[in-house]
Structure 1
Amino acid sequence: MTTPAGKRSDIFKKQVTPYVYLLPTIILMLILLIIPIIMVIRYSFFDNVIINKNPTFVGLENFAKVLTDPTFLVAIKNTLYFVIISIIAHLVIGMFFAMLLNTRYLGNKTKGIFRVIYALPWMFTASVIAILWKMMMNPNGIINYLLQAGGLISQNIEWLGSRQFALFAVTLINIWSGYPFYMISILAGLQGISTDLYEASALDGANAVQTFTRITIPQLKPILVSLLMLDFVWTLQQFALIWMTTGGGPINATETISTYIYKQGFTKYQYSMASAGAVILLVVCTIIAIFYVRQQKARD
C-alpha cells in the first residue's frame, strides 16, 4: 500500500519528468538565444563595446545616432519596399498556383509534376539562388537576351549594378524564391475546405468571383493571416540573398536594415551602433510575433 509520502514522491516525479526531457533544449536556447539577445541589448546602451574593455554608458545615444543616420533612413525605405512588394507578390502568386494545382481539371500525375516544378525555388539555398540569378541578370545574360528578342529593351541593362533597377531586381529574386511557401500552405488549406460548400453555392447560383470571396477567402483567412505575419518577419530579416547579390549597393540602392546592421558591426566595427539597430529590428519583429501568437490562440 502506497504511503502519503510515496504518493507525493510519485506526483513530484510526474511533474518534474517533462522538464527533465526539455532541459537540454532549454540549456541550448539559453546559451544560443537568450544570452546573446541580452548581450546585444546591453551593448546598445554603451559606447566602444568589445573593442574597449571599459565601455562608457551612453544611454539612448546610440539609438539617436542610428535613427538620424541618413543611411539607416534609406535602409528603412528600401526595406519597406522590399518587404511590402515581396509579401503582396508572394500572396498573389502563391494563391494563383495553389488554386491551379487544386483544380479538378488536371490529372493527379500532372498535378504532381507541376507541384515539384513550382516548389523548386524553395528547395534552393540562398547561395545557389544568388549565383543563378546573378548569371541570368548579367548584362549578357538570358534575361536581357529575352527582353531584347521581345523588343522590350534596346540595350543591355545592369540589373544588379544599376541604382535604378537593383532594388527591383533583388525584390524579384526574393519573390521567386519565396512564393512556394505560400503555394504549399494555401494548397493544403484549399484541400481542407469541404466540397459541400462549393456545391451549395453552385445550387444558389453563385459565380466564380462570389465563390472565391464568400467561401474560399473566409475559409483560408486563418492560414493567410499566419502566412502574412511569418513572411513579414522573414522578409524583414532577409540578409543572405541581398548580401550575395548586391551587398547593399550600388551606393546604398539595396541597403536594408539587415545589411546596415552587418556593415556597422563587421565593416565599420561600430558594434554599439550595430547593436542599437539590431534592437530596433528585434522590437519590430517582437511586436509582429505577439500579434501572431494572439492570432494562433484565437484560431485554436
Structure 2
Amino acid sequence: MTTNLLTRTHPRDDAAPVPPVRPHRRRRSLGSRIEPYLMISPTVLLILGLMVVPIVIVIGYSLMDNTITNPTPKFVGIANYLTVLGSPAFWGAAANTLLFTVVSVVAHMVIGVLFALMLNSKTMAKVPRAIFRAIYILPWIFTASVVAVLWRLLLDPSGVINYLLESLGLIHEAVPWLGLPQTALIAVTVINIWSGYPFFMISLLAGLQGIPSDLYEAARVDGAGPIRQFVSVTLPGLKPILYSMALLDLLWTTQQFTLIWATTGGGPLGSTEMLSTYTYKLAFNSYQFSLASTSAVLVLAASLVVAVFYVRRQRKEERR
C-alpha cells in the first residue's frame, strides 16, 4: 500500500516533460498582423483604381502622340509639354485661373471673417442670429449647376440686376454681363465668391467660439479696443484655420469647372477660359487627347505643390 501511494503521489523523475503546444496563439498572432491590412484593403483598392491608375495612364498619354484617335501611338517624350507650354491659349487660361483664384480666395476669407464675427457677436439676439445663419449658408447648399442657372437669370440683360441698376440710374441700358469680354470674368468671379464664402464663414465661426473669453477680458483690462483685440487675440486664434482653409480653397478654386462651363463655357473670346475648361476643350472639342493629358498633368503638378504645403501644415498642427 505504501509503495503504491508513493508511486501515485510522486511520479518518476525520469519521465520526459511534455512540451507545451500553442497553435492557437500562433494563429492569433498571424491573424492580428493581417487584420489591419485586410481592413484598409478596400480603401487601398479604391485609391489605386480611382486615382493612382488613372493618373499613371494620363501621364502615359501625355508622352505619346494622339493615343486614342491613333491606333498605333508613338512615344514623343516631352514634345507635348513643349507644345502646350508654348501655346498662348494655355498661358491665357493660366492667367485667368490665377486671377480668378486669388480674388476668390481673398474675398472668401474677408467675407467669411466679417460674417463670422457678426454671427458670433453677443449683441445680437439668438433668434435673429439663427435666422441670419440659415440665410447666409444658403449659397453653400446649392450645387454649382443650380448656382450657374440662378445667376444666369439674374445677370441676363432682362434680369433683375439690370432692372435694379437701371432703376437707380447707374446704367442707361441693359448690360450682358456674361456676354462681354470686359465683364464676363468679373461676373463669374463674383458668382464664385457668393457660392463659396459660407464654407469660410461656418468654419471661422467654429474657430471664434473656440477662442477663450478670458483672452478678450484680459485684453480689455489692458485697455485694448475692438481693433486691437481683433489683431492681438482673434487673428492669432484663427490663424491655423485661415491657413488651412486658404490652401484648400486654393485647390478647389483652381479646379473649378462646372460653374465656368455652365455660365460662359470659357467665353466670350476666351475671357473666362480656365485651365479646366481649356483641358476639357482640348480633349472633347479638338480630340487632342495627348495635349489634354499634358495640360492635366501640368495642373496636377501645380496642385501637388499646394497639397504638399497643406499636408506639412497639418502635420505641424498635429505635433502641437
Q: What root-mean-square deviation, in Å, do the aligned CA atoms of Structure 1 and Structure 2 show? A: 1.3
Moved over 6 A (4+): none
How does the TM-score come out when normalised to structure 1?
Answer: 0.97
Match of 1:202?
220
- CA shift at 1:16, angstroms? 1.9
How does the TM-score come out when normalised to structure 2?
Answer: 0.91
- CA shift at 1:2, angstroms? 8.3
Instruction: Please give the residue correspondences for 1:207-286 in structure 2 after superposition, counting only pairs within 5 Å.
Output: 207-286=225-304
Stretch deviating more after TM superposition (142-151 or 124-133): 142-151
Stretch deviating more after TM superposition (12-21 or 165-174): 12-21
Q: CA separation in 1, counterparts of 2:20 and 2:227?
A: 68
1:97-154 Cα shifts (integer Å, max 9, x gaps): 0000000011222111111100000000111101000000001111111111222211
* 2:153 aligned partner, one-letter code: M
Q: CA separation in 2, counterparts of 1:4 and 1:154?
A: 92
* 1:12 aligned partner, one-letter code: L
Match of 1:21 among 14, 18, 39: 39
**1:190 equivalenced with 2:203 (yes/no):** no
Give % identity.
50
Q: CA separation in 1, counterparts of 2:34 and 2:74?
A: 44
Match of 2:140?
122
- CA shift at 1:50, angstroms? 1.3
Q: CA separation in 2, counterparts of 1:3 and 1:78?
A: 72
**1:39 equivalenced with 2:50 (yes/no):** no
Match of 1:133 among 137, 151, 155: 151
**1:103 equivalenced with 2:95 (yes/no):** no
Q: CA separation in 2, counterparts of 1:79 and 1:58?
A: 28
Residues 4 and 215 of structure 1: CA distance in aligned 2, closer, same or farther (over 3 Å): farther
**1:153 equivalenced with 2:195 (yes/no):** no
What is the total number of aligned residue pairs between the two structures? 300
Unpaired stretches in structure 2, ≥5 consecutive residues? 1-18
Q: CA separation in 1, counterparts of 2:29 and 2:218?
A: 53
Q: CA separation in 2, counterparts of 1:216 and 1:9?
A: 56
Rg bigger for which structure? 2
- CA shift at 1:292, angstroms? 0.4
Unpaired stretches in structure 1, ≥5 consecutive residues? none
- CA shift at 1:11, angstroms? 2.8
Q: CA separation in 1, counterparts of 2:26 and 2:239?
A: 47
1:220-268 Cα shifts (integer Å, max 9, x gaps): 1110000000000000000000000000000101000000000000110
Q: CA separation in 2, counterparts of 1:174 and 1:253?
A: 16
- CA shift at 1:19, angstroms? 2.0
3-state SS of 1:173 partner: helix
Match of 1:56?
74
3-state SS of 1:46 partner: coil
Match of 1:83 among 94, 101, 110: 101
Match of 1:7?
25
- CA shift at 1:34, angstroms? 1.1
3-state SS of 1:57 partner: coil
